[in-house]
Structure 1
Amino acid sequence: MTTKSSISSGAHAADPLPYFVWSDSLFTGNEAIDADHRRLFDIAERLRRESLQAQDNAAIGNSVDELLDYVQGHFAREEALMAATNYPDLEHHRLEHTLLTRHVQKLTKSFRDEKPVASTQIWQFLRRWLRYHIMETDREMASYAAAVSLHHAGNKADSQADCLSK
């Protein structure tokens, strides 16, 4: 016997339109970060669809776990990049990551406790947060990291040119 989802969708189960859609407007310019973001959108959309289709809790639970794991891994990769480039707004960025992680952890706990979750609100929050965070915070960080990388590449080329001219 399968247990049906404790996530209440607030939407029709046959909803054919994707809610988490990646678009070029979300590119940060950093290939690794953009790949992570696309993957986050894919996981979130799959989780949303599973809940709309009232799949069993095991399938949804796996997607909830995957979302939490991927969010945490992605944030660790971003924070490592920021630390490596001495990003001046690292602490604020890290705080944003902490807040979203806590939100996803609450979703996970509610799901595990078999409490109904108003997923329409969750999907709206998650989509808004992802779009804002990517388009504002991550884009700024990726731009900074690219500038630092370019600066280091320029200094390395200058050093090599100096060595060749001696």
Structure 2
Amino acid sequence: MPVVWKQQLATGNDLIDLDHKYLIALFNSVELALSKPENLKFLPIFFRQLVDYTREHFEREEKIQLKIRYPYYADHKIEHQNIVDHLETIYSKIHEVVGVGDAMASPDEIHAKLDAEIISLAREWVIEHLVKTDSKMAQFLRKYPEDLS
């Protein structure tokens, strides 16, 4: 089931919110790749994009946090690193499981090994991080212009 952007996820910073919307779209692409056997070949590509853009987003978000002297910056940065590490681990597993060309695993095998990890990622990243952690940051961001970068 795709993740949908809701206004409750807004942080009050245009750059961060645009990043979050794009990250949700990337995550939905990953789910789309898992949804049909003929799409599985795209899973490593979509997931790599998700990992790379997440890393870029976290760097941008952390720069903004430093500008506003966000008091929970250190904890937030650690959480970011944990999420990136988790994404990299899943990406490695995707590469192992999906394979390439003739060595590609069956769709059932791929789903059995990856679905739970991807769903767990959605909960951890979208629900825990965007809703809880970034909403705490939003309280501080709202004191600044929405276009602060």
Band of TM-score, shorter chain: 0.7 to 0.9
**Residue 16 of structure 2: SS of its match in structure 1?**
helix
TM-score by length of 1: 0.71
Within-5 A mapping of 1:44-59: 44-55=27-38, 58-59=41-42
Indicate the residue corresponding to 1:124 in structure 2: 119
Across the aligned residues of Structure 1 and Structure 2, the Cα RMSD in angstroms comes to 1.9
Conservation of the 8 A alpha-carbon contact between 2:2 and 2:28: yes
Within-5 A mapping of 1:14-33: 18-33=1-16
Indicate the residue corresponding to 2:57 in structure 1: 74
Overall identity of the aligned pairs, in %: 24
**CA distance, structure 2, for counterparts of residue 46 and residue 39 of structure 1:** 10
Indicate the residue corresponding to 2:18 in structure 1: 35
Runs (4+) of structure 1 exceeding 6 A deviation are: none
Unaligned runs of 5+ in 1: 1-17, 151-166
Q: Does 1:143 align with 2:139?
A: yes
TM-score by length of 2: 0.78
**CA distance, structure 2, for counterparts of residue 123 and residue 22 of structure 1:** 18
Indicate the residue corresponding to 1:61 in structure 2: 44
Shifted more, 36-45 versus 121-130: the winner is 121-130
**Residue 21 of structure 1: SS of its match in structure 2?**
coil
Q: Give the C-alpha shift of residue 19 in structure 1.
A: 2.6
Q: Give the C-alpha shift of residue 27 in structure 1.
A: 1.7
Greater Rg, structure 1 or structure 2?
Answer: 1
Unaligned runs of 5+ in 2: 99-109
Q: Give the C-alpha shift of residue 61 in structure 1.
A: 1.4
Conservation of the 8 A alpha-carbon contact between 1:28 and 1:135: no
Q: What per-residue deviation string (whole Å, max 9, x for no partner) do you get for residues 84-124 of structure 1?
A: 11111101001111111111101111112236463332232
Counterpart of 2:72 in structure 1: which amino acid? D
Indicate the residue corresponding to 1:98 in structure 2: 81
Shifted more, 50-59 versus 81-90: the winner is 50-59
